[in-house]
Amino acid sequence: MTRVFLGAVGAFQKANLHTHTTRSDGAKTPEETVGVYREAGYDVLAITDHWKLSRTEMVGRAGGGQTAHGMLCLGGIEFDTPQDEGSATTHIVALGIEDARGYDGLPPADIIHKVHFEGGLAIVAHPHWSLMSEAGLLALAHADAFEIYNGLSFDTHRGDASALIDGMIARGASPRLCACDDTHFFTHDVGVCYTMIDAPDNREGSVMDALRAGRFYASQGPRFERVALEDGVLEVRCCGAEYALFLSAVPWVPGRRVVLAAGVASYSPLPEEAFIRVVIVDEAGRCASTGSLDVRQGGSA
Ligand SMILES: [Zn+2]
Ligand SMILES: [Zn+2]
């Protein structure tokens, strides 16, 4: 039996799902921002200013149409909560909601519940930059995605939340993972990392359906083409990478690092490895990561 986690439809849409403009603390207007990402060849851009909701129709108009010269412009917002006693804060990016009222003062878990109630998607942004704990992240396991890589935070070496994410997975969570620039146009925060959405086209319905179904991955550069489980063997096809890592909640496993041959690597999970996070790495050390994949017999793609 074959279970395809990524690459079933044969097309991926390149997306930046977390972007700021002059509507909050970004340095470029929505129109300029749309232009930058369109020029960079993106298929999807979400404008997500702090506490300022952009609606898809509005962003699309700013960019010259909902699919501005072929790029889908999604509306969104970024909420944040006050620092707790451990001095962590929580930032949540919401996509697909129509009303931003009623979120102020809610704890982060309830922000996510409310976003879902309103029919939207919630992303936990930059967990490492926010100094979140594993326990704090586990309390938000109902989020639709966690930003494992955050472009802006690489400036302060807090852009990579892999250790926190692996801690969550080791404690039983199976998060879906995305990567975003968190663009402000402060420094080098454009095109640093992105989310690849496994959707046949970049129409809003196709993109939101794929995000809801977990058909996406996070990247700083390398690309997955297909990830599938066949007769107990996990096979990865990719490009732009040197080796693959098959990570799980088991600390030591032989053969977890596999050098790619013609862009292909395979791994047979041990019976005690219920979930695998596949990472591919290029020669510059840039990574791409799947979410935590359920590789148990009878698990779901
Ligand atoms: Zn933030
Ligand atoms: Zn942000």
CATH number (domain holding residue 99) = 3.20.20.140
Measured distance CA(113)–CA(111) in Å, rounded: 5
Q: Is residue 102 situated within a structural domain?
A: yes
Residue showing tokens 């107990």:
232
Q: Is residue 287 situated within a structural domain?
A: no
Residues 6+ positions from 208 with CB-CB distance below 8 Å = 95, 96, 121
Cβ(150)–Cβ(261) under 8 Å?
no
Verdict on whether the full-model pTM lies above 0.85:
yes
Q: Is residue 19 situated within a structural domain?
A: yes
Q: What is the pLDDT along the chain (301 residues), one digit of tens a residue?
A: 899 999 998 899 999 999 999 999 999 999 999 999 999 999 999 999 999 999 876 666 555 445 545 899 999 999 999 877 676 889 999 999 999 999 999 999 999 999 999 999 999 999 999 999 999 999 999 999 999 999 999 989 999 999 999 999 999 999 999 999 999 998 777 899 999 999 999 999 999 999 999 999 999 999 999 999 999 999 999 999 999 999 999 999 989 999 999 999 999 999 999 999 999 999 999 999 999 999 987 666 6
Q: Is residue 301 situated within a structural domain?
A: no
pLDDT at 88: 80
Q: How far is the CA of 259 from the centre of ligand 2 (A)?
A: 35
pLDDT digits (tens, 9 = 90+) for 257-295: 999 999 999 999 999 999 999 999 999 999 999 999 999
| Nearest ligand to the CA atom of 124 | 1
Q: How far is the CA of 87 from the centre of ligand 1 (A)?
A: 15
pLDDT at 197: 98
Dihedral class, residue 189 (left if φ above 0, else alpha if ψ from -120 to 50, else beta): alpha
pLDDT digits (tens, 9 = 90+) for 25-40: 999 999 999 999 999 9
Measured distance CA(202)–CA(206) in Å, rounded: 6
Q: How far is the CA of 230 from the centre of ligand 2 (A)?
A: 39
Domain range for 203 is: 10-219
Q: How far is the CA of 83 from the centre of ligand 2 (A)?
A: 16
The number of distinct structural domains making up the chain is 1
Q: Is residue 278 situated within a structural domain?
A: no
Q: Is residue 32 situated within a structural domain?
A: yes
Residue 135: in which H helix or E strand, if any?
helix 134-138
| DSSP 3-state percent helix, strand, coil across the chain (nearest 5) | 20, 35, 50
| Nearest ligand to the CA atom of 130 | 1
| Nearest ligand to the CA atom of 25 | 2
Measured distance CA(170)–CA(168) in Å, rounded: 5
Q: How far is the CA of 259 from the centre of ligand 1 (A)?
A: 35
Q: How far is the CA of 235 from the centre of ligand 2 (A)?
A: 34
